Structure 1
Amino acid sequence: MKMLQEFREFAVKGNVIDMAVGVIIGTAFGRIVSSFVSDVVMPPIGVLLGGVDFSDLVYTLREAVGEEAPAVVISYGRFIQTVIDFTIIAFVIFMAIRFINRLKRNPPPVPVVPAPPLEPSAEEKLLTEIRDLLKAGR
């Protein structure tokens, strides 16, 4: 029963929930960026490169044999697409974190003025008098 309670405490901690929300939003953001790259960025790049569609770029290792054995290919076009997706996502995240860090910059420190010394207590005054009398030789 104790382990179940510990798990419940772990699962409902703010950090775990924040992380779950971040993963969900990150996944959705990744889909948006993938769509942006494949549907908006890559077509003009393909036109500039002579009408190349990166997702169709493959290297065929073995041709298809009838309907039973499909072709064996290396889809390097999809890899290029994924690298471009990653680069754009990494750049956007970098810019967002950079912006957030600028907002979080600490204001200049406030100078610390030392507090005036406290008045010695009656006991300290008495001990000081005794010390002074002992020094004087009385």
Structure 2
Amino acid sequence: MPRLQDTHVYDRHEEEDDLLNRNRRRVVRLWEDFIDFAFQGNVLEIAFGLILATMFTALVTSFVSDIVLPPISVLLPLNKNLEEKFAVLRSGANHPAEGYNTLKQAQADGAVVMAYGFFMNRLLNFMGVGFSLYSIASVYQWMSKDPIIKKTIRCQYCCKFVNINSIRCINCTSWLDGREDHFHHQIHTSATTPGTSTPGAGPSQ
């Protein structure tokens, strides 16, 4: 009997060790899969690109708001910053006689305002970011000879834009090298001239 009991205890410990080993291998496998997913090349490139894009956008926004707009507010007949320019469409309950001084004051009073200065500020920020990105892309293209700025033309059949070097439209699959017009011309000639056959068809009876 003691031997059977010892054997039973040994089997139980062996099963526990096997269970621990399986769980350990499962955890290790999950961790390795996570490492492969999180640190693969594409994910890292996207993460670095997003971080740089966020920092670059904040830098350009600060340049436009803090450097460009204040001189414009001084040169133009503006009595306040461009962001604080607004039109009151409906006054609030506590509308002061001299008018609202700031946009936040008008909004806090419940006034209905048209914040065109805020919109113009965002528009200038957008133009600044777009022009800066275009300048960087142009310099990179000039230095690396890599045509990242691709010129496009409008397809004459579906009127959608395609690469200027394309010989076939990616949208309507029409040929852009002239063979489409040549094919249609042959069909028109075959339809108007008796005794001729359509290209690709058998002889007319």
The TM-score with structure 1 as length reference comes to 0.62
Higher relative contact order (CA 8 A, sep 6+): 1
Match of 1:56 in 2: 84
Q: CA RMSD in A?
A: 2.8
Q: What percentage of residue pairs aligned between the two structures are identical?
A: 33
Aligned: 1:19 with 2:46 = yes
* Alpha-carbon distance in structure 2 between the residues aligned to 1:8 and 1:15: 13
CA change 1:98–1:62 in 2 (3 A) is: same
- Give how far 1:65 is off: 1.8
| 1:1-138 equivalences in 2 (<5 Å) | 9-52=36-79, 53-66=81-94, 70-105=110-145
Relative to its length, the structure with more helix (as a share) is 1
Gaps of 5+ in 2: 1-25, 95-107, 147-205
- Aligned residue pairs total 106
Residue deviations 1:51-110, cap 9 Å, x none? 3421011122221224x852222211111011111111111111111111112227xxxx
- Give how far 1:11 is off: 3.8
Residue deviations 1:12-65, cap 9 Å, x none? 322222112221222122222111111111111112211342101112222122
CA change 1:75–1:6 in 2 (3 A) is: farther
Gaps of 5+ in 1: 107-138
Match of 2:104 in 1: none
* Alpha-carbon distance in structure 1 between the residues aligned to 2:83 and 2:48: 31
